[in-house]
Amino acid sequence: MAETVRLELVTPVRQILSEDVDEVIAPGVEGDLGVLPDHAPLLTALRVGELAYRIKGKLEYVAIVGGGFLEVNNNRVIVLADDAELGHEIDLEEAVQRKLKAEAALERERKADEKTFKAVEIELMKELIRVQIAEKYKGAK
Amino acid sequence: MPGVMDIKRKIKSVKNTQKITKAMKMVSAARMRKAEEAMTNARAYANKIYELVGGIADRVEADSHPLLVARKEVKNVCLAIITSDKGLCGAFNSNVVKKTLAFARENQDKNIKLICIGKKSYDFLGKKEFEVLEKYVSFGGKITYDEANEIGDKLVAYFLSEDVDEVHIVHNEFKSTAFQVAKVTKVLPLVLEKQEAVADTTDYIYEPQAEALLKEIMPRYINFTVFFSILESIAGEHGSRMVAMDNAARNAGEVITKLTLTFNKARQSAITNEILDIVNGAEALNG
């Protein structure tokens, strides 16, 4: 019986995490899912959202911006994300600025065709997640 | 025999050239380290995504996705050619161009369309008889994943709209600093390599189903392949430039040694002549 699971988070640009954690909570396309030690093998797509993991009883957050995949096998959780950012690396002020910008862009594109609008909407969603996560770390700093 | 001053001027100019090549070599070395680092970082993702795609491939039908279906008749072939924007890097770019032309010769019955990535490929091949679908130039020796995504999406779009029946990437594979090999890689239709090694058919839970997952993974797989190829090419470019500049600096050194020798000889003979003049003059006075 394993005590922890190995969480590995990689993006095409860098390896972000490689740690032994107690629990992973990930934003799957079909709903959030939690992974505890000795989870059955699983492969799922991820949506833009918040990935949390518990390490020594403390919850840490990661912003998954850009979707990706999560694989669970043999007590290893491998997350392949298009882009991701550790919660404590996000600067709240900057995140809020970017969110405002994304909101303005959405307003501008309201009349644009559906495809561009969707793209802008997704951008806004990413920024919202970043702000959300940055706020969680606000007190800690 | 050239004058002493001429040789002196020549030596100075070669020395200047040598300074430049030495500086460029140093810059390339630094850039290459960075590019290599980017490649190493991407490799973790590469290994994982190849494994995932391989794993899923075992569980789905070969024709379950349009990107997997090989066309019966291959008429239009798209080549995505990755070169550098800048020259002065030895045979780096011409190797890719040569490979492209060789490919075109072998496939004369097919209609070849190009996507040029990097200024040099467009400079060389844009003037030839090929149709150029897209060109991406001047990304200045750097690439972000988003930029690669854009290119990858284009490749997929051309393939799906049946403008082209096959897509290949031509790029320099990074073997080592001094050694790159131009290579043609087929990217579309995707050929999924079934992995025999992963024999343990662990009963995976798929969310959503394997087919739907594959649909998500495949575009990423292609985009990532493009991204990684470009990273390799960038690292190779700097490596190749480093070697080329190193050679140039060494050649300049040789030229300088030779010129210095000629210069010394010229100077020596000038002095001898002058002494002869004086001696002769003195002789004449004495006599």
The enclosing domain of B55 has a CATH number of 3.40.1380.10
Count CA atoms closer than 13 A to A63's CA, side-chain side. Answer: 25
Q: How many domains does chain B have?
A: 2
List of chain A residues whose C-beta atoms are within 8 Å of the C-beta of residue B145: 11-13, 82-83
CATH code for the domain in which residue B9 is found:
1.10.287.80
Whole-number pLDDT of residue B141: 67
CB contact under 8 Å between B202 and A11, yes or no, is: no
ipTM given for this complex: 0.81
Q: How confident is the model at residue B50 (pLDDT cuts 50, 70, 90)?
A: confident
Q: How confident is the model at residue B199 (pLDDT cuts 50, 70, 90)?
A: very low
- With 70 as the cut, is the pLDDT of residue B41 above it? yes
Q: How confident is the model at residue B130 (pLDDT cuts 50, 70, 90)?
A: confident
Chain B residues bordering chain A (beta-carbon distance below 8 Å): 38, 41-42, 44-45, 48-49, 52, 55-56, 145, 202-208, 212-213, 216-217, 220, 224, 227-228
Q: Quick one: what percent of chain B has pLDDT higher than 90?
A: 41
Q: Which CATH architecture has domain A5-87?
A: Sandwich (2.60)
**Spans of chain A below 70 pLDDT:** 1, 139-141
Residue B83 located in a structural domain = yes
Whole-number pLDDT of residue B27: 93
Q: Residue B162 belongs to what H/E stretch?
A: none
Closest CA to A140 of A97, A92, A83, A84: A92
| Residue ranges covered by each domain of chain A | 5-87, 91-136
Q: Is B8 exposed, middle or buried (0-12, 13-18, 19+ CB in 10 A)?
A: middle
Separation between Cα atoms, residue A37 and residue B58, nearest integer Å? 27
| Residue burial B237-273, b: 16+ Cβ < 10 Å; e: rest | bbbbbbbbbbebbeebeebbeebeeebeebeeeeeee
pTM: predicted TM-score of the whole model, two decimal places: 0.85
Q: How confident is the model at residue B60 (pLDDT cuts 50, 70, 90)?
A: confident
Closest CA to B229 of B177, B164, B176, B183: B183
> Does a cis peptide bond (omega within 30 degrees of 0) precede residue B189?
yes
Domain match, B234 and B119 both = yes
Separation between Cα atoms, residue B77 and residue B147, nearest integer Å? 23
List of chain B residues whose C-beta atoms are within 8 Å of the C-beta of residue A42: 204-207
State which amino acid sits at residue B254: E
- Provide the token pair at A23: 């629990």
Q: Which domain holds residue B208?
A: 42-241
> Which residue from A14, A69, A83 is facing B217, i.e. has the nearest CB?
A69
Domain match, B128 and B219 both = yes
CB contact under 8 Å between B41 and A43, yes or no, is: no
Separation between Cα atoms, residue B132 and residue B114, nearest integer Å? 5
How confident is the model over B161-179, as pLDDT tens digits? 888 899 999 999 888 887 8
